[in-house]
Amino acid sequence: MAPLSDTETPSTDEAPQALPGDGLREGIVDDLRNRIGASLIDSHIVPNTDLTVRVATDAWAETAAALKTAGFTWFSFLSAIDWMPSPYGNGENDPTVERAPIDMTITQGTCGGETRMQVFARLTDLDRHVGITIKADVPDDAPVVDSWTRSFAGANWHERECHEMFGIGFNGHPDLRNMYLPGDFEGHPLKKDFPLLARMVKPWPGIVDVEPMPEQPEPAQDAAEGGES
C-alpha cells in the first residue's frame, strides 16, 4: 500500500549552496580596495549579517561604478544623515518645561566620519545574495557630492529627495527640482536645525490634539465598605 505522505528529503547529488558569509564580505572589501585604492577609508562587517564601507568624498561616484562592475547591480536607496544633535530636543519634550542644556557634540556612526552630514546608499549583488552599505562625508563648507545617476538611473529620485530634505547638492544630476515642497520653500526639513514649529508649541504627537482621559467616578460609599454593615 502506498504511503499517504512522504516526508523524506529527496536525495540529490548537488552540493548545498553556500550562504554569504564573512569570508565573502572580506573578499568584497579587498576587491573594492583594489578598485578604488586608499579612497576606501574604513569597513565594518557585522558577523554573518552585513557590510558597511566608508569611502572618500571625491570617490563617491567612482565607488558606485566600481561596485556595479563587481556585480552590485541592484540599487536599493540613497539618502543622508545629519549627525548634529537637534538644538530643539527630541520633539517629545514638553516645550513649556525648562530642560537641561543639550550636548551638541557630533558623533558619527558605523565607520566614523569627519563632517556633520554623510550620504549613504545600499547596493545588492543578486547573484551572490549579499548587500553593502556605502557612506561618504559631505563637506561642511560646500555640501555637494557627485551624482550616482550615471551608474544607477534609480538614484535620480533619491538624490532629488536628499537635496530637498537635507540641502545636499549632487554634481551631474540632470534635474534637482523639489518633489514635495514649493520651489521657493526656505529650509530643509530633515536637517536637525530646521525648526518643526508644531513640536515647539506642544509636545509629541505634535499636530494631534490629545484629549485628557475622562475622570474615573468615585466608588460608591456602600460598595467601598463591601458589606461591612
Of 83 and 195, more confident: 83
Q: How far is CA 221 from the centre of its chain?
A: 58
pLDDT in tens, 90-113: 766 666 777 788 888 999 999 999
Residue 171 pLDDT > 60: yes
Q: What is the mean pLDDT of the chain?
A: 86
pTM beyond 0.85: no
On the CB side of 224, CA atoms within 13 Å amount to 5
Contact by Cβ (8 Å): 86, 99: no
| pLDDT above 60 (res 126) | yes
CB of 182 closer than 8 Å to CB of 73: no
**Cell numbers of 47, please?**
558577523
d(CA 227, CA 229): 5
Q: Exposure of 72 by Cβ count < 10 A (0-12 exposed, 13-18 middle, 19+ buried)?
A: buried
Task: List all residues 6 or more positions away from 4 whose beta carbon is below 8 Å from its beta carbon.
Answer: none
138 vs 123: CA distance, rounded Å: 20
Specify whether the CB–CB gap between 31 and 63 falls below 8 A: no
Q: What is the pLDDT of residue 101?
A: 83
- State residue 1's pLDDT score: 47
pLDDT of residue 156: 98
168: its cell numbers: 545636499
Q: Cα separations (Å) of 160 from 165, 176, 186, 195?
A: 9, 5, 16, 22
Percent of the chain at pLDDT > 90 equals 65
Angle (nearest 5°) at CA 35 between 116 and 133? 40
